[in-house]
Chain A
Amino acid sequence: MRERTTFSAAILSLIGAVLIFLNVLAIVSNGSSIIVSSYSVSSIGQLLNPSGSLWYRIAFGVPAFVEGPLIILWLMLAVINLTLSIFLYLKPERPIMPSFFILIFSLCLYIAGGGFIIGSLLGIIGSSLGLQSRKDFGETFFGKLFKVATFDSKVFGLIKENPKLLREATMTIIFITLLSGLGCSLYIFNANQVLHSNPEISTRILLHGETLFDASVLNLPITYIGLSIIKWILLSLIVFLIGSKLLGITTQLDAIARSIAFAYVPVSLQVFLPFVFLNQPFLTIHWPLAVIIITNLWMILVLVVAIKQLFEVTTPKAVGIVMLSGSIYWPLTYKFILPMVFTSNVVPGVFFDVNPNEFVLLLISLASVLSFILGVFTKD
């Protein structure tokens, strides 16, 4: 099993390193960052006025950092990264040193496109597995996250049985908040620049492929850590109350909290939000909404698997519990806590709000009836 961890680490790092190498070669050939757009546009005005056809751009590489002599640096790092990944594959018994450097280089090479983004991601996951190669694949941090995201119910069994994982669960919540917060914050910052700055800035972001950064971008992920912990405890409490008090299932709050923390994993994918920029109205509505819906739906499905394993109930009943818990959790968080914390009308971050409140109540009623039909209130 431990060999499997090292093997997975080596394979992931190697695929990542190859992608990074190819990305850097593409930059070398092009002489600047790679910008892929749906169709060519000659002026920014075409993109800011809402039009029918969708336009998008994806940039691989930060333009100012992948030009001139700096390309040599990226080429060197990419080749060293590839060599280290091969070394990790050929010498699996000594994984710590190559894994450590692959992690550093994969992070640095994000600036040079990160192997079409996927390469760096694989490099980071692979090298992290390499650093934890003394553990079985499923016991490593990224191993757990991977298994959770792929709906592996066994991992929730392990999380339920191991009280020592509460610390790791809290770390997971913080890690996910930092990633999703950074993605959302960077996206909002750049979208605001596109919509409210002068045309030159909009051109830089949309047409030249730049992603602007400001220290204020870090505010959101850092300040939201506390809020995420509150939301996590709140959801765990609701699930615990429904499971333990309403259904009479013998369970512990900490076991539920541990599983729920890991169920948030798909939300971390919101970090990819700023990699694509679109024209209006897709910039402010469709793209962020699509990412939020997909990641949250994914999280809900993972939660169903977790609840099924925790309470040892059937899938329909698990769906019902999630639905009922969500119908209490969602209005509590988004209608009471967030408006209370942020007195202004604008809540920072990317959210979708349901209005009017009567409609929210209608949805709660629907969820309650559905959970009743699914057998939540029936004791086995």
Chain B
Amino acid sequence: MIPKKLFIIGFALLTLVFSIAAPFFPWWRAYTSRKSDIESGTSIRVEYGLLGSITASKITNVENQSVSMSISISELNATEQDKNALQSFLYNTWCLSIAGSGFSILTFVFICLSIGEKFVFLKKYTKYLMIVTGIIFFVSSVYFASQAHVLISKLENVTPSQVYYFSGKEVRAFFGKINSLIYGPSFGWYLAITGFLLNISLSLLTIKVKE
């Protein structure tokens, strides 16, 4: 049987991986449904990262028609004001999630140190640190969910024009579907939610399970 302490470290490591990965994955996406992919033979996907990068791809059965590209928000069709608003919003979310990642690293270090007899006093701070980390991730997810669709809806075309035309006005909620196109949060946003849940779980486990 694996010792309890080692198990907690393993779980903390998993939490750390999710927390660190969250800011680096895309947070918003629009993609064609499976039904549309099969019927039209074309698959479209666009993803927004927190650092303002947009990756878009169109994969089609027709030869030489497939496109894959990466652009920045400044290259999209919209007024400068709207693009700046979106850029700064993504940057704010990035800062929040990076803060969450930083706290997560600190939590992991505290957990590792508190195992040794020399730093046992760190234990009581660790559980608070975990809760704070969880809350930061929760706040960043909620902040993103409340504003993303509002700012994206101001764009004239959500996708790069070489890939597809998808008017921002069509984006009316955080989760949604227009004809064959589904839009909503991407993997990074879900990782942040997972980071929040794992940090809270970790704090509960360390409180409930004592060696």
Contact = CB atoms under 8 A, between A and B. Distances in A.
Q: Are these two chains actual partners, yes or no?
A: yes
A68 B190 contact: no
B211 to A, nearest CB: 10
Contact of B4 (A29, A67, A75, A90): A90
Interface string A81-119: 011001101110000000000000000000000000000
A290 interface: no
A76 B197 contact: yes
Interface stretch (B29-37, B70-78, B90-98, B160-168): B29-37
A90 B209 contact: yes
Given A31-B184, A35-B34, A80-B201, A75 B175 contact: no
Interface string A11-33: 00000000000000100110110
A24 B75 CA distance: 34
B100 to A, nearest CB: 16
A79 B209 contact: no
Given A29-B187, A35-B34, A42-B38, A87 B205 contact: yes
Interface residues of B, number: 28
B182 interface: yes
B1 interface: yes
Given A29-B187, A67-B182, A79-B197, A86 B31 contact: no
Contacts of B31: 31
B198 interface: yes
> B interface, by DSSP: helix, strand, loop or mixed?
helix
A71 to B, nearest CB: 7
B109 interface: no
Given A86-B11, A87-B209, A68 B194 contact: no
Nearest to A207: B38
Contacts of A83: 201, 204-205
A208 B197 CA distance: 31
B173 to A, nearest CB: 10
A298 interface: no
B127 to A, nearest CB: 15
Residue in B4, B38, B184 whose Cβ sees the most chain A Cβ within 10 Å: B38
Interface in A38-92: 41-42, 63, 67-69, 71-72, 75-76, 79-80, 82-83, 86-87, 89-91
Given A87-B205, A90-B209, A208 B193 contact: no
Interface string A192-219: 0000000000010001110000000000
Contacts of B193: 72, 75
B34 A68 contact: no
B162 to A, nearest CB: 22
A72 B192 CA distance: 11
A87 B205 CA distance: 7
A90 B61 CA distance: 52
A68 B204 contact: no
A31 B182 contact: yes
A329 interface: no
A180 B31 CA distance: 38
A282 B208 CA distance: 52
B62 to A, nearest CB: 13
Contacts of A67: 182
A137 interface: no
A25 B18 CA distance: 11
A31 B205 contact: no
B205 A86 contact: yes
Nearest to B25: A29
A272 B207 CA distance: 40
Contacts of B7: 86, 89-90
Contacts of A91: 208-209
A28 B187 contact: yes
Contacts of A35: 34
A91 B4 CA distance: 9
B205 A90 contact: yes
9 contacts: A31-B184, A32-B33, A68-B175, A68-B177, A72-B190, A89-B7, A90-B8, A91-B208, A207-B34
Interface of B: 1, 4, 7-8, 11, 29, 31, 33-35, 38, 41, 61, 175, 177, 182, 184, 187, 190, 193-194, 197-198, 201, 204-205, 208-209
Given A68-B182, A71-B190, A72-B190, 13 more contacts: A7-B1, A28-B190, A32-B34, A75-B194, A79-B201, A80-B197, A86-B11, A86-B205, A87-B209, A90-B4, A203-B38, A207-B34, A208-B34
